[in-house]
Amino acid sequence: EMSEMSERSKQNVAYGLAWSYYVGYLKIVLPRVKKSMEELSRGNPNLLACRKTWKLHILVPLSCDVYDDLEKADSNIQYVTDLTETTLARAGTKNRVYKHSLYAIRDEENQLWHCAVEYATPLQSLHAMSQDECAAFSREERLEQAKLFYRTLEEILKGSKECADAYRLIAFEEPEEAETHFLSSEIVWHLRQEHHEEIAVLEGSHPHSPSTALDSAELNLQVSVSDLPQPLRTDGF
């Protein structure tokens, strides 16, 4: 009975996608991210000066709109290079390659910030399901699933010792009116927070969590057409 209720409400979709994303990808690559960043930093010491940014920044747009080319999504985001590849044998595929791309993000003051960033790829599946008649996902259901995906992934990663301090989830809802550099502004905001955290550690004080960081308890999964979620940031960006 519980299984049937779950299937009817489609709650099992986002939950399964989050676990699959973690077990089949993040648990493999995240423990290796810092080493890859360190290797790159040796040859480019000024490129990755802030060690707090030595992690994979995972974009979680609640609209599930995922761009394959970040440079086309926002002209303030420019590809720099790829990090060291990880090659493993997986599920019958020999020499399967895992890699991440390093980008330069330009802020409003024309300053460059560097980080490894990519979208959470399972959101592409949620978006595709909402376009497929067989799945019968409405826009509201897709939004609920995106929130549940984020909450589930956040909880999984919080409990993962292997992935500790190797990632940063960047969840956001794009504004109704298109903003040319919305995405780069979102990423830069998080990079600034990481920079402040590193300074606080170096000065011996306790770094504070950003006041606008999403907590799973803040995400209301019951969304109706008349009660769409408000922007997830409150800092004015």
Q: Which of 102-106, 126-130, 232-236 has the lowest mean pLDDT?
A: 232-236
pTM attached to this predicted model: 0.81
Cβ-count burial of 138 within 10 angstroms (0-12 exposed, 13-18 middle, 19+ buried)?
Answer: exposed
HSE, CB side, 13 Å, CA atoms: give it for residue 159: 8
Q: Would you say residue 55 has pLDDT above 60?
A: yes
What is the Cα–Cα distance from 226 to 223, expressed in whole angstroms? 8
Averaged pLDDT, 187-204: 84
* Separation of first and last alpha carbons in the chain: 45
DSSP string, 170-193: EEE---SS--TTHHHHHHHHHHHH
Q: Which of 124-128, 202-206, 226-230 has the lowest mean pLDDT?
A: 226-230
Structure tokens at 31: 């423990």
What pLDDT, on a 0 to 100 scale, did the predictor assign at position 127?
87
pLDDT tens digits, 22-49: 999 999 999 999 999 999 998 887 788 8
The full set of domains in the chain, from first to last, is 10-204 (3.40.50.12100)
